[in-house]
Structure formats: C-alpha cells, structure tokens
Amino acid sequence: MRQSVIRQSVLTMLLCALLAPPAAADGKELRLGFISSFSGPVAVLGSAVDQGFEVALDQLGGRIGGIDTAIVKQDDEGKPDTGIAVARKMIVQDKVDVIYGVATTVVVVPVAALAARSKVVMIGPVSGPSMLAGKGCSPYFFSSSWDNNLPSEAMGEYLQTKGIANAYLFSANFQGGKDALAGFKNYFKRPILAETYTPFTAQDYSAEITQARAAHPAAIFAFYPGNLATNFVNQLAQSGLMGDVPFYSASTIDPTNLPAIGDAAIGTFQTAAYNPDLPYPANRDFVARFVARHHELPSSFAAQAYDGLMLLDAAIRSGADPHDRPALIHAMQTVHFASVRGPGFRINRNNFPVQNFYLLKVVKSDGTLIQQTQTTIFTDHADTHVDDCVMPAP
C-alpha cells in the first residue's frame, strides 16, 4: 500500500505541473505535504480524509488559493516514527509550505511539534489533541476537526440531561481516548462505574465486556476510532449486552465503518459536529460532489478534511502569500468561508474550531444504514482548553 501511495504522490505532482493553468505573474506556488494513515489500525480514517481532500481539490481545479499547487502524499502507517520521518522529508527535501492530514493523536503530536520547530503550518483534519488546544497551542497548528474532548462532552451533556443513573466507559488506550473520556466526564456528573482502556491493537474484548455485564450499568459509552470500532461494537452486540444496555458513542460509529458493523448499530446514538443531512447549502453541495465521486455518503472525517482545505484556500485567496508564514497564519485565523458545518463555524484563538454538536441515531432507510440527526446538543461550542492557550507570535 505504501508504494502505491508514493507512486500516487509522483503522479499527483506531475499532473499538477502538466495540467495546471500557467503560473500567476507573481510566480506563487503552494507546496503541500499530505500525510495520512493509508495502512495500519486506523486506515479507514486515513482513507476518509483522503476522500474529503480530493473532493475539495477537484472543486478547486487542483489550485489551492487559486495558485499553482504541488502535492506530495505519504503514508504514516499510524506510527509516530514513520510520521516523523515522512514529515521531516517533506520539510527538508520537498520544501513544503503546509503539512496537511495525520489521522491519530499519537502521530499528530510529534509531527505538529516538528512542524512548529520548522515554522511550517500544519492542518489536522481528524485528531485534535487537548494539549495542542491549551497550554501547548501553537500558531503553526490548526485543527479543522475539534479538540478531542468535544464530541464526548456532547454525549456527556446529553446523558446528564436525560437523567441516566450511571455509565460504564470504554476506550482504546491512547491519548485521544483519554481525552475523549475526560470530555465525557466534564459534563456527565453521575457515577462512573468503570473507565476501561483496552490496548490500541486489541482484537478480543470478551473479558472487558464480561466485566461490564457484571457491573449492571445503566449505559455504556465508548470511544474507538476507525477500524477499532468494528470489532468492539460487533463483539458487544454478539455478547447480547448491547441489547440489554443502551450504547452511546462518539467518533466510533460513522459511515466509514457502518457497513462492517451492520445491523448491530441500529438504534444506537452518537454525537458529532457533522452529519450529511445538515441543511446548509455548502453541505448539500459537498454531499452531492462526494456521492458523485465516491458513491457513498461522506463521514465527519471526510467533511473535516474538506473544510480544512477550504480554510487554507480561503486564506490564500484573501491575499496571504503561503511563503509568508505569519501572514498565512493570520489569514487562517481570521478568514471566513462556507463550512459544511454551517455559518457558526469559526476558528477560535487557539486555532481550534467553534461549532455545533449534534445527537445522531443509526437507522435503516430503504435498506441502507444511515445516521439521522436528532437534535442539536451544543451551539457555538468551544473547547475548555482555550483559556489555557497563550498563543505565541509565529
């Protein structure tokens, strides 16, 4: 898979050079390094990010900000060491102006640190580590997704308001999972019966599910990204526990894994900042373009990837030179664009979004599993870590 990604990188750069209109008179060119998990345990997320990115790039005619664009794509395999090596090559050899992508917290954190030291702007469309939203905020790192706490905060708020007596929590054992469960507890103030972290590479959850059954919880909440969710949710359903105890999640069940999870997901609830049925004009246009290209509905990860590229495009079109990093950063912090998540979406002073969060439910419509938006839980919701961010000058 990695070799095919490298070949695609070369082809992308050649096509940009051959097919793009003549360069602008000022000779501006954007060089963008795209890093994602095309293989490894969260490859489904890496693929979703690539899908959303390609829809946006196609809409822009291959010219981000209206200027010539060269793109290098590489696979981080979901591994920090690989991600760092790929990013270093892009910065040192390929001379990229922007690093875009990376699907997991374990890779985002070291790559964002390298980008900041190198004074290269980075856009993260999936993982938003809390440390980068608060005390570790950087002018060079932008999130087009959310602080890791936020989707889970929305579910914590929903279950608290619903009057659920207690909850049993599950997550993969990594920083993103710890952030997610912390976010849930920020808003759910009733008893937590257990907070179970399973290995990131786990395939069998039977022992943990047995322990959960013995606790007789009123609700189960879980955070498992990408491919990890498929095994966990299917095993929870097969155990019969999901039929006895309501199951809630964030960033766990979505269009990337619904076909693999199947009917077990019907009737379960999720929280997210995006759903394909949102009624905004920009979203309707995006969904139409996405379905025409990929023949399926976009996930929130694809939508966040699309928005991330549109943010960069709007910043450059506003007049920011991509080689003038302070000017580009200022433009990205202040520019407005038509987000698929609606007119309330904006970049906060920690370079993380302010946005709505919704309650979704899995249903079967005309034989197809989809998520339907039920209600808005948070409007214009910002992360709690922004108060700890003292943004240094770029």
Residue among 23, 42, 136 at smallest CA distance from 80: 42
Residue numbers of the domain that contains 132: 2-146+278-356
User: Residue 389 falls within a domain, yes or no?
Assistant: no
Backbone angles phi, psi at 354, to 5 degrees: -105, 130
Both tokens of residue 79?
A: 């591994």
Contacts of 223 (CB under 8 A, 6+ apart): 152, 170, 171, 172, 176, 177, 180, 181, 249, 250, 251, 252
Residue 201's pLDDT band (boundaries 50, 70, 90)? confident
Q: Is the pLDDT of residue 24 over 70?
A: no
Helix (H) or strand (E) holding 155: helix 150-162
Please, what is the average pLDDT of the chain?
92
pLDDT value for 44: 87
pLDDT value for 227: 80
pLDDT value for 346: 96
Residue among 183, 139, 111 at smallest CA distance from 351: 139
pLDDT value for 70: 97
pLDDT value for 26: 53
Q: What is the 3-state secondary structure (H, E, C) of 356-385?
A: EEEEEEEEEECCEEEEEEEEEEEEEECCHH
Q: Is the pLDDT of residue 12 over 50?
A: no
Asked if 23 and 140 sit in the same domain, the reply is yes
- Alpha-carbon distances of 64 from 20, 28, 57, 266, rounded to whole Å: 11, 11, 7, 39
pTM score over 0.85: yes
As a whole number of angstroms, the distance between CA 94 and CA 58 comes to 23
pLDDT value for 2: 44
Q: Is the pLDDT of residue 202 over 80?
A: yes
pLDDT value for 6: 41
DSSP E strands in 290-352: the ranges are 346-347
User: Residue 380 falls within a domain, yes or no?
Assistant: no
Do 351 and 122 contact (CB within 8 A), yes or no? no
Asked if 16 and 37 sit in the same domain, the reply is yes
As a whole number of angstroms, the distance between CA 116 and CA 122 comes to 8
For 236, the 3-state DSSP assignment is helix
Do 275 and 245 contact (CB within 8 A), yes or no? no
Q: CB-side exposure of 298: number of CA atoms within 13 Å? A: 34
For residue range 77-108, what is the model confidence (pLDDT) as tens digits?
999 999 999 999 999 999 999 999 998 889 99
For residue range 354-385, what is the model confidence (pLDDT) as tens digits?
999 999 999 999 999 999 999 999 999 999 99
Residue 228's pLDDT band (boundaries 50, 70, 90)? confident
Residue 28's pLDDT band (boundaries 50, 70, 90)? confident
Asked if 142 and 282 sit in the same domain, the reply is yes
pLDDT value for 5: 45
Asked if 121 and 39 sit in the same domain, the reply is yes
Residue that is written with structure tokens 């999130």 in the block: 143
- Average pLDDT of span 170-174: 95
Return the exposure string of 220-259: e unless at least 16 CB atoms fall within 10 Å of the residue's CB, then b: bbbbbbbbbbbbbbbbbbebebbeebbbbbbbbbbbbbbe
Q: Is the pLDDT of residue 16 over 70?
A: no
How many domains would you assign to the chain? 2
pLDDT value for 341: 97
As a whole number of angstroms, the distance between CA 257 and CA 228 comes to 10
Residue 314's pLDDT band (boundaries 50, 70, 90)? very high
Residue 20's pLDDT band (boundaries 50, 70, 90)? very low
Helix (H) or strand (E) holding 290: helix 281-294
Residue among 183, 190, 118, 97 at smallest CA distance from 146: 183
Residue that is written with structure tokens 């920083």 in the block: 175
Do 347 and 353 contact (CB within 8 A), yes or no? yes
Asked if 120 and 223 sit in the same domain, the reply is no
Asked if 306 and 322 sit in the same domain, the reply is yes
Do 227 and 44 contact (CB within 8 A), yes or no? yes
Q: Is the pLDDT of residue 23 over 80?
A: no
The residue out of 249, 272, 295 marking a domain boundary is 272
Contacts of 143 (CB under 8 A, 6+ apart): 123, 124, 125, 128, 132, 133, 351, 352, 353
Q: Is the pLDDT of residue 129 over 60?
A: yes
| CATH for 206 | 3.40.50.2300
- Average pLDDT of span 133-138: 96
For the chain, the residue count is 394
For residue range 255-270, what is the model confidence (pLDDT) as tens digits?
989 999 999 999 999 9
User: Residue 313 falls within a domain, yes or no?
Assistant: yes
Asked if 188 and 255 sit in the same domain, the reply is yes
Question: Residue 132 carries which side chain, given as an amino acid letter?
Answer: L
As a whole number of angstroms, the distance between CA 387 and CA 133 comes to 9
For 37-87, give the DSSP string.
-SSSTTHHHHHHHHHHHHHHHHHTTT-GGGSEEEEEEEE-TT-HHHHHHHH
Residue 27's pLDDT band (boundaries 50, 70, 90)? low
The residue out of 241, 272, 303 marking a domain boundary is 272
- Average pLDDT of span 164-178: 95
As a whole number of angstroms, the distance between CA 188 and CA 199 comes to 25
Residue 41's pLDDT band (boundaries 50, 70, 90)? confident
The residue out of 218, 249, 272 marking a domain boundary is 272
